């Protein structure tokens, strides 16, 4: 294991262009936990108690004579383990990229996105699991039979089967009911839709009731039909949908990108004007990364960006004979599995 720690603490970033690094190397023969204290990295047996001033980074797990990077036990936002995309190499030594799946969290500089849905050329749609999408609210409802019901937006008392009253939030009384069509128009008024080169972007503040502040549902299951308040339009071509992630979504709002792949040209992501998807953040390089559609898979590749293209690790990741690197804050750990010789074991 090789540990490289950036000597500057910059809110969880690692500068892949800097030479201000503290480099250390370790031979790991059995399960270990990895800690950092200042610039110094240390490894300990799993039973060792963590010192108060140490920061836990990750664990190396052994199973059936194989080693794994085990990110479990890492606190969210504190010591998350991220796979470094540029460290993944093909047999020729070039970058092979990372195959993205729904549920993956991609980090470009300090900006995070979740892959929420994909569809390939065979029309196979894959979606992220509901528990990973905190704002994916679905409700079951019955048709309103209350003769006193009134729409809180248009103030009309009539409804139809095609445009029924719904109760999308926790409000009661005169604000409880709203026409489905009125609710959809209100959501559309809060959403900015922009057509990009090979993508469509949707931006809105968090979709919640302005009175009771409860999250609004994307889907409403009536007795005999499904009503959708989801504004995102799916193209007929292979596509990938990714959604921004912020600690404070009330302040920053949400951005959703629907990326469609019409030909073999990769999608450019970065801060520069030449990019198909433009991200206005100083930690994102001008041409930061590419996404390409290849053999039914959606592959992301890093373009030697300053702060890296990363993928959040949730499950143990096997250490092979090819090098693989993970970033935990300002430390990069590079692993490679080697056969232990008889002399080494003695």
Residue 174 DSSP code: G
pLDDT higher than 60, residue 344? no
Report pLDDT for 253: 76
pLDDT tens column, 87-142: 999 989 899 999 999 999 999 999 999 999 999 988 899 998 865 565 667 888 88
Quote the percentage of the chain above a pLDDT of 90: 68
Average per-residue pLDDT for the chain: 90
DSSP 143-154: ----TT---TTT
Distance from C-alpha of 104 to C-alpha of 78, rounded to nearest angstrom? 18
The CATH number fitting domain 98-310, selected from 3.40.50.720, 3.40.50.1370, 3.30.40.10, 3.30.70.20: 3.30.40.10
pLDDT level of residue 197 (50, 70, 90 thresholds): confident
Q: Span 335-343, mean pLDDT?
A: 76
Report yes or no on whether pTM surpasses 0.95.
Answer: no
313 burial via Cβ count (<10 Å: 0-12, 13-18, 19+): buried
SS3 31: coil
The pLDDT assigned to 101 comes to 96
Tens of pLDDT, residues 10-22: 888 999 999 999 9
**SS3 track for 86-136:** HHCECCCCCECCEECCCCCEEEECCEEEEEEEEECCCCCEEECCHHHCCCC
Residue 249 DSSP code: H
Per-domain residue ranges of the chain: 2-81+313-345, 98-310
pLDDT higher than threshold 80 for residue 342: no
- Between CA 36 and CA 71 the distance in angstroms is 15
3-23 in b/e burial notation, b at 16+ Cβ within 10 A?
bbbbeeeeebbbbbeeeebbe
> Is the pLDDT confidence value at 346 over 50?
no
What integer pLDDT is reported at residue 130 of this predicted model? 65
Q: Which helix (H) or strand (E) holds 252?
A: helix 249-252
Give the pLDDT of residue 75: 64
**243 close to 163: Cβ distance less than 8 angstroms:** no
Between CA 192 and CA 170 the distance in angstroms is 26
Mean pLDDT within 170-192 = 93
Indicate the pLDDT class of residue 76, thresholds 50, 70 and 90.
low
How far is Cα 302 from Cα 288, in angstroms, rounded to an integer?
A: 6
CA–CA dist 314, 327 (Å, integer): 13
């Amino acid at each position: 294991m090789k540990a490289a720690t950036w000597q500057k603490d910059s809110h969880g970033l690692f500068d892949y262009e800097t030479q201000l690094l503290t480099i250390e190397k370790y031979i790991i023969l059995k399960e270990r936990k990895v800690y950092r204290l200042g610039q110094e990295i240390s490894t300990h047996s799993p039973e060792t108690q963590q010192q108060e001033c140490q920061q836990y980074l990750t664990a190396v797990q052994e199973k059936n004579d194989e080693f794994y990077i085990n990110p479990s036990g890492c606190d969210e936002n504190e010591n998350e383990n991220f796979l470094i995309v540029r460290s993944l190499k093909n047999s020729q030594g070039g970058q092979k990229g990372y195959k993205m799946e729904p549920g993956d969290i991609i980090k470009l500089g300090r900006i995070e996105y979740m892959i929420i849905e994909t569809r390939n050329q065979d029309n196979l749609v894959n979606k992220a699991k509901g528990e990973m999408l905190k704002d994916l609210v679905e409700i079951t409802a019955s048709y309103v039979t209350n003769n006193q019901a009134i729409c809180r937006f248009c103030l009309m008392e009539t409804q139809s089967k095609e445009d029924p009253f719904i109760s999308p939030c926790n409000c009661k009384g005169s604000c409880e009911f709203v026409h489905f069509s009125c609710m959809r128009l209100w959501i559309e008024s809060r959403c900015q839709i922009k057509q990009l080169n090979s993508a469509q972007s949707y931006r809105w503040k968090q979709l919640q009731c302005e009175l009771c502040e409860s999250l609004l549902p994307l889907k409403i299951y009536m007795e005999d039909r499904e009503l959708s308040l989801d504004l995102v339009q799916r193209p007929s071509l292979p596509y990938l949908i990714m959604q921004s992630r912020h600690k404070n979504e009330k302040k920053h709002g949400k951005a959703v990108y629907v990326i469609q792949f019409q030909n073999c040209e990769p999608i450019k992501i970065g801060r520069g004007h030449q990019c198909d998807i433009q991200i206005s953040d100083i930690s994102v390089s001008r041409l930061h990364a590419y996404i390409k559609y290849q053999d039914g898979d959606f592959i992301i590749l890093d373009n030697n960006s300053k702060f890296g293209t990363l993928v959040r690790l949730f499950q143990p990741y096997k250490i092979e004979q090819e090098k693989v690197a993970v970033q935990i804050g300002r430390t990069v750990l590079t692993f490679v599995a080697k056969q232990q010789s008889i002399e080494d074991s003695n």
